[in-house]
A and B are shown apart, each in its own frame.
Chain A
Amino acid sequence: MKHIVHKAYWDYEKEEQWLNEMSHKGLALEDYSWCRYVFRDAPAGKYIYRIELLDKTGSHYESQKYLKFLEETGIECVAAYMRWAFLRKEASLGPFDLYSDIDSKINYYSKVINFWNIFAAMELVIGTMNVLIGLVNGGRYGGLGFNFFLGLPLIGLGVALVKLGDPLRAKIKRLQQERAVQE
């Protein structure tokens, strides 16, 4: 049976954890589009899920090449949304970790942080511009302009996006310390 859940996540690691909890309850993710998760009944714990940020969008040639490679190793891509791929592997095939050494983990986490930072920068720039326009207009016409109030939440969003990377930055720092003594 199909189950549709509408839910929004900021943090892909929490999202991944939730998908695995659902899988443990016998609900296997089958499709995803903007905040809409489609689950289907499956034996409890049959699949392990991972969410990965691809280099390009899911339909890009390079992503297709990579996803095909994953498929050969028993990893199925159930959905690709923009640059995010929802991957699963049958738990009976063993553990499911995409990155097995320190360097590739550091590279991957850095990629995710950069991805968030691009959005953060956009929000911060647009937000700041609006706040300034608001102040200028406010000075001209009295009070604070509409743009001022439009800009503030955008700046907040930008800051939130930067903060989102904090746990990953901590992980990278830990891995870099490890890297000094081992692979």
Chain B
Amino acid sequence: MPESSLRGALTEAVLYILLALYTPLHGYGIMQKVDELSHGRVNLGAGTLYGAINTLLDKGWIIPLAGEMDSRRKEYVISETGKEIVAMELIRLQELLDNGRVVTGGTV
């Protein structure tokens, strides 16, 4: 099977960054948004976030906002591809959640 068709799980950081970028944000905005969404549980390190942003840009899952290229603070937004990836990930997570609930008898 070619590697590109592998459908692995997204990392927590990547999924949260993609979710945060349904509204355009700059780097620090992403950190704050992820902190808020996870109720302070996920603190993205600036180095980790920088690497993730570059990878997501390369993959085309997020795009820099037009007209912001020269601005001091670059803003990013999720792309259509990114949204498809998120949708697929949610289906995968739903399956996990359903199975987890069934097996544990919904007690957790």
Contact = CB atoms under 8 A, between A and B. Distances in A.
B105 interface: no
Contacts of B73: 72
Interface in A23-68: 52, 66, 68
Interface stretch (A99-107, A130-138, A148-156, A158-166): A99-107
Contacts of B43: 94-95, 97, 100
A99 B27 contact: no
A183 B46 contact: no
A125 interface: no
B13 A100 contact: yes
A59 B19 CA distance: 34
A101 B48 CA distance: 7
B45 interface: yes
A99 B47 contact: yes
A108 B27 contact: no
Contacts of B51: 104, 107
Counting chain B residues whose Cβ lies within 8 A of the other chain, the interface size class is 10 to 19
B48 A72 contact: no
A98 B47 contact: yes
A101 B13 contact: yes
Interface residues of A, number: 21
A101 B27 CA distance: 17
B2 to A, nearest CB: 23
A74 interface: yes
A69 B50 contact: yes
Contact of A73 (B13, B28, B72): B28
B29 to A, nearest CB: 9
A103 B51 CA distance: 11
B11 A98 contact: no
Contact of A98 (B26, B27, B42, B48): B48
Nearest to B53: A69
Nearest to B10: A183
Nearest to A102: B11
A72 B28 CA distance: 6
Contacts of A100: 13, 42-45, 48
Nearest to B26: A72
A134 B77 CA distance: 63
B31 interface: yes
18 contacts: A52-B47, A69-B27, A72-B73, A73-B31, A75-B46, A97-B43, A97-B45, A98-B46, A99-B45, A99-B47, A100-B42, A100-B43, A101-B11, A101-B45, A103-B11, A104-B45, A183-B12, A183-B13
Interface of A: 52, 66, 68-70, 72-75, 94-95, 97-101, 103-104, 107-108, 183
